[in-house]
Amino acid sequence: MKFFKYFLFLLFFSLIYINCKSLTYDSKIKADKEEPVVIANDSLAYEIIIIDPGFTNFLNATAQPEGFYSQKYLESRNRAWVLTWNERARNPLQFNPTIYENIIDYQPTIDYGYEVNYKLFNYFLFAQKKYKMSLGGGFRTNRIN
């Protein structure tokens, strides 16, 4: 009878351990498989693909909803932040090249539309928060949105 109690006790905790381990493994898989955010304007043949983990969640849970900012406001913020971003991307010895991997070709004379400006703006907010940096333009480093 004592053997049976120990066997049940061991079986019970083994099952709990296996279940907890599988839950942890599943959540890691889901986190790794986050879909990239595509910013595109088909009429301009323009596309940005953001594969930074956590951005999709930031866009859905933290960012202000579309329509909160005017397109003119988003464009002015993006112009300032793109200049800073590109300057840092061109100086990999001074700034972290794993953060500033690519130069962003954002032309102030082109109307990219609201969606492109909205997602680019929110990516800059996300990156500033995630990497604890400031791209300038009059915003606080710890600004959420």
Among 12-16, 85-89, 127-131, name the one with the lowest average pLDDT. 12-16
Q: Is the pTM of this model over 0.75?
A: no
| Block residue for tokens 């002015």 | 76
pLDDT surpassing 60 at residue 4: no
DSSP symbols for the chain: -HHHHHHHHHHHHHHHHHHHHHHHHHHHHHHHTPPPEEEEEGGGTEEEEE--TTHHHHHHHTSPPTTSS-HHHHHHHHHHHHHHHHHHHT-TTTS-TTTS-S-----TTS---HHHHHHHHHHHHHHHHHTT----TT--TT---
Highest mean pLDDT among 6-10, 33-37, 71-75, 126-130: 71-75
Residue 99's Cα: distance from chain center in Å?
Answer: 12
pLDDT surpassing 70 at residue 141: no
pLDDT score of 26:
47
pLDDT digits (tens, 9 = 90+) for 27-64: 454 545 666 666 666 666 667 777 778 888 888 889 99
pLDDT digits (tens, 9 = 90+) for 72-109: 999 999 999 999 999 999 999 999 999 988 898 888 89
pLDDT score of 19:
61
pLDDT score of 114:
93
pLDDT score of 2:
62
Mean pLDDT of 108-124: 91
